[in-house]
């Protein structure tokens, strides 16, 4: 997506989750909008235009929508600094609220005859005036908002419904109850707002890894600059206690950084000259000199923040269900309230007589429905729960690209793993070199290193290290085939010669004969064989060793206890794959798979597991991109993973630790469990109060608890996911 077609707006003062849903829906309906997503937790509205030159107009229209639905909300560009805004009238609001409370207490004491007030005088107009005064002082904001919404035709707004319910209580003479409901509704809203804001701050703290400054080296010293203005190749200084602003290569002899905010690793990471240091890390040691290797927009910290914040656009199915449910719930409850106020007294009145008391009683019961008709407990706590889970995962070095993938992780019942770099270290070492009559170890390694000079594959790096010389032959890379090998050319004594370097399965496809003793398992089945051919004739084989990652076996055993079956899909020789699979303890092993073969095998697993839970794939290489994209959940090892694999994945692990897979599953299950606790609790309490209210066993007090009380408890429960 072109950045010129995308913008982020911050909605300062947005505290109504139901209104946030309406703003998002209206923004999505604007002509020219490709995507619109409002994250209630971060108050960010992301808009993507469907063409050039549309964005400015869409921003203006979106701002108008916000002003229409939430007039007090201030809209600003996310790229701007936080505005100080207009002076707050919080002090005036509190004074008005306190005056209303005191007036209400006086009215109640007056009504009960405390202080020797004349009983006859207590029931007259003066007492009603005092109750009304307290009511308007306490509910001025709600009544004003309700009136404004009524002018716009919005009758299912919470403020309007609460106003109707309390004014209805006045109408039937329940003055103390009307004022008390408004009072406790305001108190509940205040506590709910505090809980939501605390939750937002907690989420923001989880993502507080953005560096603010960079010390740029210039003639005569270092100058404090914005990290976004620093070019690749520039030298910067990171002082002790500061965050590394940009990804770079360490120039200092040594250093030590805290990467816990990025990777979840609790132990500091030691650095030496030439090591890569990631932006967002905290320098723990002496001043660290760094040469910048990535611009701010491509830096690790920026990509992490973008992934987490953009995750709001990929809403979980549960979130989408709650949004649809909220649209139906309020009109249905309000409609039921209207029927409850009219039908029972009509039918019952045929036998008992149409007395005003009968109509008044059923009207009072219908008011309970109005108070309980707002789905705030759900539309507030559910998005906070999912986004809190995503934030908590990011704190452990697990980047989940949206609520839908967090929810999908919960349902995973089968995980397929790549082998090299995922379950094994991927740090190969050349153990043996076998050549024909004309080729010795040195000449084979020189030719292989020359062909692999431009590759980032772990095998290529190990060959280059084994060769250990900068002197290379002039070899031209013609084609690199992920999962198979490469084809190159070199100038030989008789002209151009074609070189093939790759796995035995690929050589078999090409019709290149390999000596039997080099094409079979020898001694240690966990070793990998890389064959070389010149002009279609085998010239040698390089044998490489790899090690199983620490913790891989424990992770597989823990997954089995969680009810998750495992398999390994490897491009390596089937016997090599089988040996590694046996050592780790995976349930199924498939070796000798080219990228297309991996995809076909995953398709079979998906077909066999259909209806039995989601299937995830974990990989790190360019040859894993298609499989990562096809799996129900693609998980990329990001520590050394290729960019294309990370882009194709739904979940990115910032380190190459296998245990992170298990941790991601557990965070997902905990998050979804808490989300459904809130759904069950909110609907259960609301349903119970509605039922009791219909039969006259619950009053307005219980209704207020079922509204703001339940919302408050649901928000507090949602915050548990961040611990």
Tell whether the model's pLDDT for residue 675 goes beyond 60.
yes
106 and 48 together in one domain: no
Please identify, among 495, 515, 545, the residue that sits at the C-terminal boundary of a domain.
545
The reply to whether 485 and 344 lie within a common domain is no
225: left (phi over 0), alpha (psi -120 to 50) or beta: beta
Sheet of 248-250: strand order equals 221-225, 214-218, 235-238, 288-292, 248-250, 276-277
> pLDDT of 578-604, one tens digit each?
889 999 999 999 988 878 888 999 999
Distance of alpha carbon 490 from alpha carbon 534, whole angstroms: 10
Cα gap 315→331, rounded to integer Å: 24
193-197, 252-256, 486-490 — which is least confidently predicted? Answer: 193-197
Mean pLDDT of 412-439: 87
Average pLDDT over every residue of 199-225: 78
Does 443 share its domain with 540?
Answer: yes
Tokens, residue 329: 């719930």
Both 266 and 330 in one domain: the answer is: no
pLDDT at 204: 66
Q: Which residue has the higher pLDDT, 656 or 497?
A: 497
- Find the distance separating the first CA and the last CA of the chain, reported in whole Å: 34
Q: Rank 162-171, 427-436, 480-489, 554-563 by mean pLDDT and report only the highest.
A: 554-563
Q: What is the pLDDT of residue 145?
A: 82
In the prediction, which pLDDT does 661 show?
94
**367 lies in a domain?**
no
Does residue 534 share a domain with residue 438? yes
Query: 56 and 77 in contact (C-beta within 8 Å)?
Result: no
- The verdict on 437 and 509 lying in the same domain is yes
**In the structure, what pLDDT confidence band is assigned to residue 290 with cuts at 50, 70 and 90?**
very high
Nearest 5°: the CA angle 544, 548, 552 is: 160
pLDDT confidence of residue 87: 42
Q: Specify if 639 maps to a domain.
A: yes
| pLDDT (mean) for 475-489 | 84
CA angle, 81 then 83 then 89, to 5°? 160
Which CATH number belongs to the domain containing residue 64 in this structure?
3.30.70.100
Of 527, 545, 563, which closes a domain?
545
Residue 197 maps to a domain: no
| Domain identity same for 634 and 681 | no
Q: Is residue 199 part of a domain?
A: no
> Is pLDDT of 704 > 60?
yes
Cα gap 681→394, rounded to integer Å: 28
Task: Evaluate whether 227 touches 245 at the Cβ level (below 8 Å).
Answer: yes
Of 52, 77, 102, the last residue of a domain is 77
pLDDT at 24 over 60: yes
613 pLDDT above the threshold of 60: yes
Domain CATH for 483: 3.40.1110.10
**Helix and strand element counts for the chain (H, E):** 24, 26
Q: Take residue 26 and report the two structure tokens written for it.
A: 């209206």
pLDDT in tens, 145-160: 888 877 777 777 777 8
537 and 433 in a single domain? The answer is yes
Q: For residue range 25-78, what is the model confidence (pLDDT) as tens digits?
A: 899 889 888 888 888 777 888 888 887 778 888 889 999 999 888 888 889 887
**Residue 418 is a catalytic residue:** yes
| 8 Å CB contact between 360 and 331 | no
More confident residue, 617 or 344: 617
- pLDDT reported for residue 221: 84
pLDDT at site 471: 84
Q: Exactly one of 15, 418, 650, 656 is catalytic; name it.
A: 418
Task: Report d(CA 440, CA 565) in Å as an integer.
Answer: 45
DSSP secondary structure of 383-447: HHHHHHHHHHHHHTTEEE--HHHHHHHHTEEEEEE-STTTTB----EEEEEEE-TT--HHHHHHH
> Mind listing the pLDDT tens digit for each residue in 494-543?
788 999 998 888 898 899 999 888 865 444 556 788 899 999 999 999 99
- What 487-496 contacts at long range (C-beta under 8 Å, 24+ apart), as own/partner pairs, is 488/451, 490/447, 490/450, 492/534
Cα separation, 428 vs 664, whole angstroms:
28
Is residue 309 one of the residues assigned to a domain? no
Confidence band (pLDDT; 50, 70, 90) for 606? very high
Q: What is the mean pLDDT of the chain?
A: 83
pLDDT at 328 over 60: yes
Give mean pLDDT, residues 165-178: 84
Give the pLDDT score at 521: 47
Q: How far is it, in rounded angstroms, from Cα 51 to Cα 262?
A: 35
Task: Count the domains in the chain.
Answer: 6
Please indicate, yes or no, whether residues 555 and 646 belong to a single structural domain of this protein.
yes
Burial class (CB in 10 A: 0-12, 13-18, 19+), 495: exposed
Token pair, residue 263, equals 């990777």
By mean pLDDT, which of 216-230, 369-383, 624-638, 661-675 is the weakest?
A: 369-383
Q: Is residue 181 in a domain? A: no
The pLDDT of residue 655: 82
**Residue 596 corresponds to which tokens in the numbers above?**
């297309």
Question: How many other CB atoms sit within 10 Å of the CB of residue 111?
Answer: 17
Q: What is the CATH number for 613?
A: 3.40.50.1000
How far apart are alpha carbons 490 and 443 in whole angstroms? 14
> What pLDDT digit, counting tens, does each position of 618-635 carry?
987 666 778 888 999 999
Domain residue limits at 148 = 88-173
- Indicate whether 183 belongs to any domain: no
Q: Which residue has the tokens 């009504």?
A: 111
Instruction: Let me know whether 571 and 595 are in one domain.
Output: yes
Give the pLDDT score at 88: 45
Q: Could you tell me if 562 and 637 lie in one domain?
A: yes
In a domain, 594, yes or no: yes
- Is residue 36 located within the same domain as residue 15? yes
């Amino acid at each position: 997506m072109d950045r010129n077609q995308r913008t982020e707006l911050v909605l300062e003062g947005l505290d109504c989750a139901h209104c946030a849903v309406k703003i998002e829906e209206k923004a999505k309906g604007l002509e020219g909008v490709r995507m619109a997503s409002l994250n209630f937790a971060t108050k960010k509205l992301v808009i993507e235009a469907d063409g050039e030159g549309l964005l400015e107009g869409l921003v203006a229209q979106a701002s108008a929508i916000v002003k229409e639905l939430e007039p007090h909300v201030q809209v600003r560009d996310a790229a701007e600094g936080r505005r100080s805004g207009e002076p707050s009238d919080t002090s005036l609001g509190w004074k008005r609220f306190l005056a209303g409370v005191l007036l209400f207490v006086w009215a109640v004491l007056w009504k009960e005859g405390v202080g020797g007030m004349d009983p006859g005088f207590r029931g007259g107009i003066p007492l009603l005036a005092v109750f009304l005064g307290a009511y308007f002082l306490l509910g001025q904001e709600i009544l004003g908002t309700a009136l404004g919404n009524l002018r716009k035709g919005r009758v299912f707004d919470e403020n309007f419904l609460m106003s109707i319910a309390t004014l209805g209580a006045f109408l039937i003479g329940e003055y103390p109850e009307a004022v008390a409901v408004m009072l406790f509704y305001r108190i509940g809203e205040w506590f709910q707002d505090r809980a939501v804001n605390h939750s937002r701050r907690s989420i923001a703290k989880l993502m507080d890894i953005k560096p603010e400054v960079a010390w740029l080296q210039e003639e005569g010293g270092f100058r404090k600059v914005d990290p976004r203005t620093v070019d690749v190749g520039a030298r910067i200084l990171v002082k002790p206690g500061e965050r590394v602003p940009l990804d770079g290569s360490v120039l200092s002899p040594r250093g030590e950084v805290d990467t816990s905010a990025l990777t979840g690793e609790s132990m500091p990471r030691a650095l030496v000259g030439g090591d890569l240091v990631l932006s967002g890390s905290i320098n723990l040691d002496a001043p660290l000199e760094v040469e910048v290797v990535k611009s701010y927009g491509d830096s690790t910290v920026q990509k992490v923040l973008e992934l987490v914040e953009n995750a709001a656009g990929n809403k979980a199915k549960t979130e989408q269900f709650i949004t649809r449910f909220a649209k139906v719930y309020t009109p249905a409850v309000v409609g039921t309230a209207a029927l409850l106020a009219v039908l029972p007294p009509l039918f019952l009145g045929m036998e008992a007589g149409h007395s005003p008391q009968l109509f008044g009683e059923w009207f009072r019961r219908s008011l309970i429905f109005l108070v309980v008709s707002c789905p705030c407990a759900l539309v507030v706590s559910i998005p906070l729960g999912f986004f809190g889970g995503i934030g908590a995962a990011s704190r452990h070095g697990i980047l989940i690209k949206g609520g839908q993938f967090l929810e999908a992780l919960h349902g995973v019942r089968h995980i397929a793993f790549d082998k090299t770099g995922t379950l094994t270290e991927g740090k190969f070492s050349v153990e043996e070199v076998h050549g024909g009559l004309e080729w010795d170890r040195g000449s084979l390694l020189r030719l292989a290193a020359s062909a692999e000079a431009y590759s980032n594959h772990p095998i290529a790096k190990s060959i280059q290290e084994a060769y250990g010389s900068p002197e290379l032959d002039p070899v031209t890379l013609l084609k690199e085939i992920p999962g198979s090998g490469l084809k190159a050319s070199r100038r030989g004594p008789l002209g151009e010669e074609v070189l093939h370097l790759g796995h035995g399965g690929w050589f078999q496809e090409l019709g290149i004969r390999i000596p039997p003793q080099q094409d079979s398992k020898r001694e240690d089945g966990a070793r990998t064989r890389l064959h070389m051919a010149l002009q279609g004739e085998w010239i040698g084989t390089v044998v490489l060793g790899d090690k199983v990652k620490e913790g891989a076996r424990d992770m597989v055993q823990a997954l089995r206890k969680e009810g998750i079956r495992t398999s390994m899909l490897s491009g390596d020789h089937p016997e090599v794959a089988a040996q590694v699979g046996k050592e780790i303890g995976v349930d199924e092993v498939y070796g000798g798979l080219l990228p297309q073969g991996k995809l076909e095998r995953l398709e079979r697993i998906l077909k066999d597991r259909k209806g039995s839970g989601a299937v995830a794939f974990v990989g790190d290489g360019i040859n894993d991109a298609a499989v990562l994209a096809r799996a129900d959940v693609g998980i990329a090892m990001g520590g050394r993973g290729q960019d294309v694999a990370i882009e194709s994945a739904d979940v990115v692990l910032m380190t190459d630790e296998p245990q992170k897979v298990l941790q991601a599953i557990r965070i997902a299950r905990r998050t979804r469990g808490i989300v459904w606790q809130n759904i069950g609790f909110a609907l259960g309490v609301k349903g119970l109060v509605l039922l009791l209210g219909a039969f006259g066993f619950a009053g307005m007090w219980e209704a207020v608890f079922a509204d703001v009380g339940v919302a408050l408890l649901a928000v507090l429960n949602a915050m548990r996911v961040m611990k």
